[in-house]
Amino acid sequence: MATITLHREKLRYNFDRLDYLFKSKDIHWSVVTKILCGNELFLREILALNPTQVCDSRVSNLRMIKKLNPEMETIYIKPTPKRSVSSVIKYADISMNTNIETIKALSEEAVKQKKNHKIIIMIELGELREGVMRENVINFYKQVFELPNIEVVGLGANLSCLFGVLPNTDKLIQLCLYKQLIEATFDKKIPFVSGGSSVTIPLIFKKMLPAGINHFRVGETLYQGTDVYKDEKSNLLEQDVFTLQAEIIELIEKPMVPEGDFGTNLEGESYQIEENLIGKTSFRAILDLGILDLDRVNIFPKDESIGYFGSSSDMIILDLGENKQNYKVGDLLDFSINYMGALRAMNSNYIEKRVV
């Protein structure tokens, strides 16, 4: 068996520290819940923190959130698929959008459902993921403001998720200036500039965050306790909010070099023999966990003497060396796990979920 565990007190600690930080700067923030993959047990822990907003990239996850707390304000944080318009209107109070035809469809559906739907329009700032091109922003907003049952409550941008383009003062000032330009051009008030995410938090401490950035969407720093800008641990937050355990299902001393004619493995890789390992042996532990569940580069044994040997679809093989720790079949090995590892593990039906 394998288990991913959410540590309640560490989550609470990180939430409280971030909440204090944002409130002290008069910044609104939304908890990103996509890492939880709609898991009811874990979502209850998030909602128990009493966040102001939660946001997710899957409508099914927002549906679960609304089931658990109908009053929770929800944000759908990627461009709406046209085939999901009805569900987005039903389960998302706010959605982030970049396509005028999609927003027209949201408007029509909002009229049908007798709802007022709020939107944040995303602007391209160089990351080349979602976002309206800057030269088209004014014309885009002009069309949106004419649509019924649609309320523009913000403009935003995404950085660092695709190519790792980091936020900086200049880019975020651009975002604030677009807000001022749109408000002056159309005589409309836009409450939020959603330019913040986990990677932007260090700019607050450096006093480099433009005053107009007043909305953050935070996931990784909350769950991992990381300074995403530097890709390192934060000394202000708890790490290991998520941990992983996996059971040893075989442990045998075996040669360190495979024997036979070599083709490619299931990932299309060809094995290269290391001549210095021929004739040597080590203890190999097979875990009840595999590529189907997560990528081994995203998990880190608590016992640093353990090495990696290989993976298949549903098994990971570790090198225990001489097994001085005297591990045996049935033992559980403990791992730290990064954001992508937790996301993959949460999405696996074969990994048990628990809260402590």
Distances in Å between the Cα of 45 and the Cα atoms of 31, 88, 347 are: 12, 24, 17
d(CA 288, CA 314): 7
Concatenate the DSSP letters of all residues of 211-265 into one string. TT--EEEESHHHHH-EETTTTEE-TTS-S-SEEEEEEEEEEEEEESS--S---B-
Query: What pLDDT, in 10s, does the model give residues 294-310?
Result: 998 999 999 999 999 88
| Contact (CB, 8 A) for 89 and 124 | no
Query: What pLDDT, in 10s, does the model give residues 207-227?
Result: 999 999 999 999 999 999 999
Q: List the beta bridge partners of residue 318.
A: 285, 308
Concatenate the DSSP letters of all residues of 286-304 into one string. EES--TTT--GGGEEESST
Residue 269 has pLDDT above 80, yes or no: no
Return the active site residues: 34
DSSP reduced 3-state for 19: helix
Phi, psi for residue 223 in degrees, rounded to 5: -85, -25
Residue 259 has pLDDT above 80, yes or no: no
Work out the average pLDDT over 177-189: 94
d(CA 320, CA 251): 9
Between 50 and 159, the higher pLDDT residue: 50
Q: List the beta bridge partners of residue 332.
A: 247
Quick one: what percent of the chain has pLDDT higher than 90?
A: 82
Residue 98 has pLDDT above 90, yes or no: yes
pTM for this entry: 0.92
DSSP reduced 3-state for 118: strand
Query: What pLDDT, in 10s, does the model give residues 2-60?
Result: 999 999 999 999 999 999 999 999 999 999 999 999 999 999 999 999 999 999 999 99
